[in-house]
């Protein structure tokens, strides 16, 4: 899988033809924060701050792949997910709930 960032803020996802075809796979767009600080209110960590990395803010199925060559265009609005996320990941998952067969991540905040 290749993912190209477009000048309009959108993405082009390209999946090659799979030699043996295969069962349909779901293409997921996952928006995430680089780092999130949580104030802990109860439990053994009460009144502490916990740092979490790559916190998922949104997940949405954006297409499916049947093994044929595919170019999928996502708009800038789709990519951001309205979540003001720091990054996004594209996951291709066999059968919707099976193995991840391709993955790619991109920072939306200009980071690396």
Q: Three-state DSSP class for 105?
A: strand
The two structure tokens encoding residue 24: 């349909």
Buried b (16+ CB within 10 A) or exposed e, 70-92: bebebeeebbbbeeebbbbbbbb
> By three-state DSSP, how is residue 76 classified?
helix
pLDDT tens per residue across span 32-51: 998 989 999 999 999 999 99
Alpha-carbon Rg for the chain, nearest whole angstrom, is 17
| DSSP per-residue string spanning 45-70 | TTT-EEEEEEEEEEEEEEEEE-SS-E
Q: Specify the CATH class of 2-107 in words.
A: mainly beta
Q: Which of the two residues, 22 and 46, has the higher pLDDT score?
A: 46
Domain boundaries, the chain: 2-107
Tens-place pLDDT, residues 66-88: 999 999 999 998 888 766 788 99
Q: Is the pLDDT of residue 96 over 90?
A: no
How much is the pLDDT for 1?
A: 95
């Amino acid at each position: 899988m290749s993912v190209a960032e477009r000048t309009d803020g959108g993405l082009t996802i390209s999946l090659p033809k799979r030699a043996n075809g295969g069962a349909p796979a779901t293409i997921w767009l996952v928006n995430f924060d680089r780092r999130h600080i949580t104030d802990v209110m109860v439990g053994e960590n009460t009144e502490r701050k916990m740092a979490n990395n790559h916190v998922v803010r949104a997940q949405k199925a954006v297409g499916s792949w049947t093994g044929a060559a595919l170019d999928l265009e996502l708009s800038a609005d789709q990519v951001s997910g309205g979540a003001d996320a720091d990054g996004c990941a594209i996951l291709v998952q066999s059968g919707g709930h099976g193995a991840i067969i391709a993955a790619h991540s991109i920072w939306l905040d200009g980071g690396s």
